């Protein structure tokens, strides 16, 4: 029997060193496993090569910043990732403002370069189910265009989701990125896939981050993703962030520019509706 066939309970026992007393199916590839003594861990099944290695390295890198809460990693292999379970709570204005301050601290922990993978993480990583390459670049505009916009535009054209004539719109945005990007900033330590589903509100009154696509990037990208997919009390999150680390002038005008990346990823994964949103954001960026 291979490790992949042993199941989530066996993986939890192997990585925690504790007997397993029960399992509860979670969402998607997740299973809640109860250990002897009542502790609950989350076991995630992964089938894409390197995906769980990238996720585990990302979780540890985010945790090393000592800023936002991140579930502890008990272990992983090519098929299974075992982490602590976050005890669920409720979002609130106070917790949201605290999350904003903690997110600012996470970003300020920095990265060696734009596109730098977490220590021990692979260059060929994932954002959700989409491949994502973590290749270092010297400046954000050229790196963002080359490694976060154009690869997904090309794939969308190959898939028939975008027309070649529409691809030229994104190419024009990339050409103008040096003037559109705003003031230069150092690489931030990004979660990288910061939509609402990856922010858990814990019983301890803090926000917890899961499922990162962590890399060095521009801090406005994480915030733009929170805007795109929504977040409870987002105004309070932003107020807390601004209190801790004010954003550069004009950041609201650049939200659509930073949303190109997640919108194009979703275009590749889910199709045409997101292509329309990505095209609208590109047009708005060029009109700025």
Active-site positions? Answer: 193
Provide the token pair at 6.
């042993």
Q: How far apart are the C-alpha atoms of 43 and 52, rounded to whole Å? A: 11
* Residue 68: HSE in the Cβ half-sphere, 13 Å Cα cutoff: 35
Q: How far apart are the C-alpha atoms of 128 and 232, rounded to whole Å? A: 22
Neighbours of 35 (CB within 10 A): 18
């Amino acid at each position: 029997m291979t490790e992949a066939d042993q199941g989530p309970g066996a993986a939890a026992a192997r990585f925690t060193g504790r007997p397993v007393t029960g399992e509860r199916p979670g969402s998607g590839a997740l299973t809640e496993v109860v250990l002897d003594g009542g502790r609950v861990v989350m076991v995630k099944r992964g089938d894409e090569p390197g995906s769980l290695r990238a996720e585990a390295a990302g979780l540890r890198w985010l945790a090393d910043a000592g800023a936002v809460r991140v579930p502890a990693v008990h272990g992983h292999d090519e098929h299974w990732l075992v982490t602590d379970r976050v005890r669920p709570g409720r979002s609130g204005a106070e917790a949201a403002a605290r999350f904003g301050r903690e997110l600012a601290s996470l970003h300020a922990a920095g990265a060696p370069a734009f596109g730098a993978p977490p220590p021990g993480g692979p260059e060929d990583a994932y954002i959700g189910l989409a491949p994502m390459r973590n290749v270092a670049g010297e400046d954000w505009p050229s790196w963002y265009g080359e490694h976060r916009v154009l690869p997904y535009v090309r794939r969308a054209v190959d898939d028939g989701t975008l027309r070649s004539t529409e691809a030229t719109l994104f190419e024009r945005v990339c050409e103008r990125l040096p003037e559109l990007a705003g003031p230069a900033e150092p690489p931030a330590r990004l979660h990288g896939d910061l939509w609402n589903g990856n922010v858990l509100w814990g019983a301890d009154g803090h926000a917890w981050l899961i499922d990162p696509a962590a890399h060095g990037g521009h801090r406005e990208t994480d915030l733009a993703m929170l805007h795109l997919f929504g977040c409870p009390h987002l105004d309070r999150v932003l107020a807390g962030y601004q209190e801790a680390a004010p954003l550069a002038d004009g950041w609201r005008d650049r939200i659509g520019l930073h949303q190109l990346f997640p919108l194009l990823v979703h275009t590749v994964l889910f199709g045409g509706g997101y292509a329309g949103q990505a095209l609208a954001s590109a047009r708005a960026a060029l009109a700025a």
